[in-house]
Amino acid sequence: MATDPDARDLTLNYPGGSLTAPLGTLKALLGDDYSGLTPVPETKQVSVKSHSRVRVIGGAPSNVTGFSYEMTQWPTSQANNAASGSVVMLSWDGSDGDWVARVTGAFSSLGIFFVANSTKPVTFRSERGTKYGPFQKVS
């Protein structure tokens, strides 16, 4: 039995959330050559302050000196056995009706993501019926 690769769900992480939708939907919205499919890690500087530590209750405290290190953080999204996020209905110029996707994070972050990346004017509607958009990348 053959399956359509464009029907498989794909999760795109962006600052402030993630969008899960069928690959075909994402290709239609963002273009076939969308560079966001190659995530880039973010390098963070982490500093640990000096402090005292007690290994055993009632034991003598020992001092831990402060230090700092660099950490590489890859984009992540919420994950568990249940479907995460809120359901949204996406529509854009040329779509045949609404397409279902799941969003984690604030809807405003999704709007910012579409303004930065969408090749077509896209609108979305929450489960409660609130409409957002249209959003489109400004060239």
Q: What is the pLDDT of residue 46?
A: 92
Q: Which two three-digit tokens encode residue 103?
A: 């969003």
Share of the chain above pLDDT 90, in %: 32
Can you read off the two tokens belonging to residue 93? Answer: 């110029």
pLDDT of residue 79: 60
Pairing of strands 67-73, 9-14: unpaired
* 44 and 109 Cβ atoms separated by less than 8 Å: no
* CA nearest neighbour of 65 among 82, 52, 78: 52
pLDDT band at 63 (very low <50, low <70, confident <90, very high): very high
In this model, does residue 83 exceed pLDDT 70?
Answer: no
Q: Where are the alpha helices (DSSP H) in the chain?
A: 23-30, 107-117
pLDDT (0 to 100) of residue 117: 85
CB under 8 A, 24+ apart: contacts of 76-79: 76/13, 77/11, 77/13, 77/17, 77/18, 77/20, 77/104, 78/18, 78/104
Tokens of 133: 């958009």
Residue 40 falls in which region: left (phi positive, over 0), alpha (psi -120 to 50) or beta: beta
Query: Whole-model pTM?
Result: 0.68
Instruction: Indicate the DSSP class of residue 84.
Output: P
Tokens of 10: 């794909």
Looking at the chain, how many residues does it have? 139
Between 37 and 129, name the one with better pLDDT.
129
**And the tokens for 89?**
């209905």
